[in-house]
Chain A
Amino acid sequence: MAGGGDPKWQKDAADQNFDYMFKLLIIGNSSVGKTSFLFRYADDSFTSAFVSTVGIDFKVKTVFRHDKRVKLQIWDTAGQERYRTITTAYYRGAMGFILMYDVTNEDSFNSVQDWVTQIKTYSWDNAQVILVGNKCDMEDQRVISFERGRQLADQLGVEFFETSAKENVNVKAVFERLVDIICDKMSESLDADPTLVGGNQKGQRLTDQPQGTPNANCNC
């Protein structure tokens, strides 16, 4: 499970040649396919065998986006509740969340709301979320329609994708979109930071004058 010996991982993890580092977290009920999703994205591999993630795991992948190299540290979390305290510990460092449910599993869909609550509780306010309905290749067993997923996403105010880790549908798109959203947030936060702009404009007038004038009219 832990990809410690993986040479590719080693290479990516040690690679310091990047501009931004984003930490992403994949959350969702047990067995919705979080680990598969990550493996598909990071290693382009898939296995149908189910091995429950122990606590947490992560993979590192560097992507090229908008002329910037973005190093992604993608955390894969255990869906099982017994690891919850461990997994929630990593919410706070995460800039983006992939909230995943299984389109063939009603329970996992119903839990989305609870996961959102978890995010709200533990993460930073400005963390970005994407809702993902996984296993969309299993049309015959589908119980959650695309429409339901999209409605929920609208309701939550997040973006929505249906994916398949097995068939490699939309996997890359999800990560790229999430990176884009975070990048947008980043430029927004700096370029339109109200405290920044407001504080400075106020500061401008008061900063610029006193330095120049007081000595000129000081007759002491």
Chain B
Amino acid sequence: MGSSNIELKAGWSSSKTNEPLRPEEQEAIISVIRRNEEIEIAERQRVGRLVERVEKIKLHAVERGPNCCRLCGDAFGLLRPQRILCEDCRKAVCTKCSVDINIRYHNSERTREIWLCRICSETREMWKKSGAWFFKGLPNYDMPVRSASASNTPTTTPTAGGGGGGAVAAYGKAGAGKGARAVQSCHGTPARGGRIKKLTIRVNDTSSSSASNSSASGQSEPEEDQLDGAKSNTAGVVGATSGSAPGNGTANDSSDRQRLQRDESFRLRAYGSIRSFIDGGERKLSNSFFFGRQANPNAGSRQADGQDYDNISNASTVAQLRREGSFMRRSSVSSSWSFSDSSGSGNSATQTTQNPQQQKQQQQQQQQHCRDPLLGWLELAISYRESFHSLDCTLVRARDLPAMDASGLADPYCKVNIVTPEGHTKYTRWQRTKTVHKTRNPDFNETLQFVGVEPEELGNSLLYVALFDDDKYGHDFLGAAKVCLSTVHSTSQYRISVPLGAEDQYSAEAEMSQSWPNGKMLISLCYNTKRRALVVNVKQCINLLPMDNNGSSDPFVKLQLKPDAHKNKKHKTSVKWRTLNPVFNEEFYFEASPHDLNKEMLILTVWDKDLGKSNDFLGSLQLGAQSKGDRLQQWLDCIRLPDHFHEKWHCLASDNPTH
């Protein structure tokens, strides 16, 4: 196409004069923008409602793993619902909770039938209805009810404004309050506020009807007050530019700005594929960030774009840069939730080129994240104090962790270590945070300090965080994250939000570092439909406590299914003499209906047989619908898939539940 600007001008318009806009022209344009504003507000609310709808469905999804419908939790089986893989999320759903749609191959008339779970089909609808399909990400939206879900309006205010201060402060003028606000409204309102404000300024500049206009805008946007600090900053920038190029220049300015803002809003939201949405709702922001990396081509086109701008409207390159700067700042602040260091990189040419390495990492991270099941998000802040050679790692919060008990909650805690370039863990002792109970969205806010970290180590070491579910009978893996430390500087805090990935050698190591003094037990469960009984096979135990003088024990296992009103649901194994790793392989039958099993609890206790005195307690295990993690999984599997043995290792706890 390549037509030069000279041609553009020559071939074009009737009026080539760059005379400033007259007041009445400004008013006309402002009134149009106002009307548009109303539509956009309504639109944001509409999109918000669409999003909320999907979120609500997601909220009701049980997500009990691959053997159950992700939505209703029904288990699959021969006589049970058919297992269908959703085309989009690849999770298993039952026929009730899915729809089949016919889609057309886009280069042929052939159609193909695909199945989608209700979440994904609704997500697709939302994607269409909101226009996200076009913009490659959800546009700005306002959630109808703010309190609908706690993590939708991330309670990041204190950290984003305060804790994130290190990073935020680097961006100078964009104040902390603004930061908080921007993060909070990832369903962003800044565009609106900024635009109106800016128009007011413009009118001020041309000193006509300023009073009426500003008051009008003030009335229409009363809630924008909280933004004022930040706005006046941008206002300053606008003022500066309009000073240098009055009239048309300011109009220029406003449109540029609008454009930038619009860009901004899209950038903030997503840019990603629909998949980012399928993967998870509440983690939109961080998701969008990671998928945002994918949008590098976009960033490129925007660069080109920006250049063109300079050519076409030579308003003032400096002003433009400054403006971009201010927006970069804005976006940085807003997405400091995810990656304060480089979040602006999509935004400006310089930053994009600055951190190719970092981007590569992020891409890798992101790729990895695409491959693995998404296990939630972890937000942390890392800072390095060179004088102490100490790395302070603040585990801020985690989001969307897998549920571990029947009520859909978990008791997460983190274990943290540093992985050296050689691939070993630096410390033999893993540091751990406190457990945050009964939540999938824990706020840890706990700082773990690693001392003896040399500055040069930072370059190629990884911080490794593994999250586990705290439980008496074993700590179930929730997710793990690696953070490259090369971007950590001694000057500022480095905030990052990372997706949690699957188990690996380090998480296994972290898990192993946990001592289980009472040993472990291998249990196999089966519900026998013919005998209408639960079959418990006590297979073996390992690493039991030595209780006798000879450094060994004489273990046997007692089993009881509770509640046991008639005291007839008790069994015990034979005694295995002088061993800490007994192999029992003994089967026991407990008559019970599957329905009963949902309310019952199998209590296993391991004892050291002593002749002539009372037996010593060695350890206990409880399995039932009230258990967590693997125990719960095994119990449910056993009920849902009867006549199959479900075998699992469990840790033994030191407390005696029969007492």
CA of A71 to CA of B18 in the docked complex: distance in angstroms?
Answer: 35
Are A120's CB and B1's CB within 8 A? Answer: yes
Interface status of B589 (Cβ within 8 A of chain A)? no
Distance (whole angstroms) from the CB of B399 to the closest CB of chain A: 19
Q: Is the CB of B11 within 8 A of A203?
A: no
User: Is there contact, CB below 8 Å, between B19 and A82?
Assistant: yes
Judge whether A88 and B18 touch: CB under 8 Å: no
Answer yes or no: B373 CB below 8 A from chain A CBs: yes
Contact present for A207 and B90 (CB under 8 Å) = yes
- Docked pose: A2 CA to B647 CA in angstroms: 73
The answer to whether B3 touches A113 (Cβ under 8 A) is: yes
Known contacts: A54-B28, A210-B373, A220-B511. The answer to whether A82 contacts B127 by CB under 8 A is: no
Interface membership of B340, Cβ < 8 A: no
Bound CA–CA A2/B24 (angstroms): 12
Known: A192-B105, A196-B274, A212-B65. A107 touches B35 (CB 8 A): no
> Which residues of B sit under 8 angstroms from A113, Cβ to Cβ?
1, 3
B13/A82 in contact, CB under 8 A = yes
Q: Is the pair A218, B255 in contact by a Cβ cutoff of 8 Å? A: no
B residues less than 8 Å from A210 (CB atoms):
372-373, 502-503
CB of B388 within 8 Å of the partner chain: no
- Known contacts A19-B129, A186-B133: A92-B32 contact under CB 8 Å: no
A56→B259 CA distance, assembly (Å): 14
Chain B binding site: helix, strand, loop or mixed by DSSP?
helix
A129 within 8 A of B: no
Task: Note all chain B residues with C-beta closer than 8 A to A60.
Answer: 39
Flag if A196 contacts B88 (CB, 8 Å). Answer: yes
B46-A16 in contact (CB<8A): yes
Interface residues of B in 230-250 (CB under 8 A from A): 248
Give Cα A87–Cα B2 distance, bound, in whole angstroms: 21
- Distance in angstroms between the alpha carbons of A165 and B370 in the assembled complex: 51
Question: B103 contacts A192, CB within 8 Å?
Answer: yes
Q: Does B209 contact A (CB under 8 A)?
A: no
Task: Please tell me if the beta carbons of A54 and B124 are within 8 angstroms of each other in the complex.
Answer: no
B25 interface residue (CB < 8 Å to A): yes
How many CB-defined contacts (below 8 Å) exist between A and B? 201
List residues of B (293-313) whose CB comes within 8 Å of A's CBs: 294, 301, 305, 308, 312-313
- Indicate if the CB atoms of A200 and B259 lie closer than 8 Å: no
B252 in the interface (beta carbon within 8 A): yes
Q: B275 and A79: CB pair below 8 A?
A: no
Q: Mark B271-287, 1 if CB is under 8 A from A, else 0.
A: 00111000000000000
The proximity string for B residues 246-262 relative to A, scoring 1 for CB distances below 8 Å and 0 otherwise, is 00100110111011001
- Interface residue ranges of A182-217 to B (CB < 8 Å): 182, 185-193, 195-196, 199-200, 202-204, 206-208, 210-212, 214-216
The interface centre, meaning the residue of A31, A92, A107, A125 with most chain B CB atoms within 10 A of its CB, is: A92
Q: Are A188 and B106 in contact (CB under 8 A)?
A: yes
Select which of A55, A191, A195 is within 8 A of B29 by beta carbon. Answer: A55
Contacts of A186 in B (CB 8 A): 128, 133-134
* Known contacts A200-B88, A203-B370, A187 near B103 by CB under 8 Å: yes
Closest to A209 in B: B66
Residues of B within 8 A of A29 (CB): 12-13
Q: Report the separation of the CA atoms of residues A93 and B263 in the bound assembly, to the nearest whole angstrom.
A: 9
A73-123 contacts to B, CB under 8 A, are 73, 79-89, 92-93, 95, 107, 110-111, 113-114, 116-117, 120-122
With contact pairs A30-B14, A55-B25, A125-B301 given, residues A85 and B255 touching in the complex (Cβ less than 8 Å): yes
Provide the residues of chain A in CB contact with B373, threshold 8 Å: 206-207, 210-211
Q: Are A55 and B274 in contact (CB under 8 A)?
A: no
Query: A110-B11, A188-B106, A200-B88 are known contacts. Are A57 and B32 too (CB-CB below 8 A)?
Result: yes
Do A80 and B13 touch (CB < 8 A)?
yes
Expressed in whole angstroms, the minimum distance between the Cβ of A123 and any Cβ of chain B is 10
Contact A200 B90 (CB under 8 A): yes
Is B147 part of the contact surface with A, judged by Cβ < 8 Å? no
* Structural contact, A20 and B128, CB atoms closer than 8 A: yes
Report the bound CA distance from A83 to B127 in whole Å.
33
Provide the bound-state CA to CA distance between A206 and B19, in Å.
Answer: 62
Contact at B3–A13, with CB atoms within 8 Å? no
Residues of B within 8 Å of A188, CB to CB, are 106
- The reply to whether B66 and A208 form a contact with Cβ atoms under 8 Å apart is yes
Asked whether, in the complex, the Cβ of A192 is within 8 Å of the Cβ of B106, the reply is yes
CB nearest neighbor in B for A118: B8
Q: Does A124 contact B (CB under 8 A)?
A: yes
The chain A residue sitting closest to B38, CB to CB, is: A13
A211 and B66 within 8 A (CB): yes
B512 interface residue per 8 A CB criterion: yes
- What is the CA–CA distance of A57 and B370 in the complex, to the nearest angstrom? 43
Q: Quick check: B275 and A195 within 8 Å, CB to CB?
A: yes
B25 touches A111 (CB 8 A): no
Contacts of B128 in A (CB 8 A): 19-20, 186-187, 190
- Set of chain B residues within 8 Å of A207, measured between Cβ atoms: 90-91, 372-373
Q: Does B371 have its Cβ within 8 Å of any Cβ on chain A?
A: yes
Task: State in angstroms the CA–CA spacing of A191 and B36 once bound together.
Answer: 31
Q: Answer yes or no: B31 CB below 8 A from chain A CBs.
A: yes
In the complex, the answer to whether B273 meets A195 with C-beta atoms within 8 Å is: yes
Contacts of B294 in A (CB 8 A): 195
What is the CB-to-nearest-CB distance from B189 to chain A, in angstroms, rounded to a whole number?
Answer: 17
Q: A117: which of B1, B255, B649 is its contact (CB, 8 Å)?
A: B1
Say yes or no: B29 contacts A54, CB within 8 Å.
Answer: yes
Q: Establish whether residues B90 and A203, one from each chain, have CB atoms under 8 Å apart when the complex forms.
A: yes
CB-contact partner of B85 in A19, A86, A204, under 8 A: A204
Q: Which of B13, B42, B263 contacts A14 (CB 8 A)?
A: B42
Please, which residues of chain A bring their CB within 8 A of the CB of B13? 29-30, 79-82
Contacts of A56 in B (CB 8 A): 29, 32
Rounded to whole Å, the gap between the CB of B443 and the closest CB of chain A is: 27
Contact B251 A86 (CB under 8 A): yes
Contacts of B46 in A (CB 8 A): 16, 21
Q: Does A206 contact B15, Cβ atoms closer than 8 Å?
A: no
List, in ascending order, chain B residues with CB within 8 A of A195's CB. Answer: 273, 275, 294
How many angstroms from the CA of A58 to the CA of B12 in the assembled complex? 23
Residues of B within 8 A of A57 (CB): 32
Cβ–Cβ < 8 Å partners of A2 in chain B: 28, 31-32, 35
Contact with A along B494-537 (1 / 0, CB 8 A): 00000000110000100110000000000000000000000000
The 8 lowest CB-CB distance pairs between A and B, nearest first, are A89-B255, A81-B13, A191-B103, A55-B29, A188-B106, A54-B28, A85-B252, A204-B90
- Additional pairs, 18, CB under 8 Å, beyond known A4-B31, A54-B29: A30-B13, A54-B28, A82-B16, A82-B248, A84-B313, A92-B263, A95-B131, A107-B11, A117-B8, A185-B134, A186-B128, A189-B134, A190-B127, A195-B273, A196-B273, A196-B275, A215-B648, A220-B649
Q: List 13 A-B contacts (CB under 8 A).
A: A13-B39, A73-B39, A86-B29, A89-B255, A95-B131, A110-B11, A113-B1, A114-B3, A182-B134, A185-B134, A190-B133, A190-B274, A206-B371
Q: Residues of B with Cβ closer than 8 Å to A? A: 1-3, 7-9, 11-19, 21, 25, 28-29, 31-32, 35-36, 38-39, 42-43, 46, 65-67, 85, 87-91, 103-106, 124, 127-129, 131, 133-135, 248, 251-252, 254-256, 258-259, 262-263, 273-275, 294, 301, 305, 308, 312-313, 315, 370-373, 502-503, 508, 511-512, 630, 633, 647-649
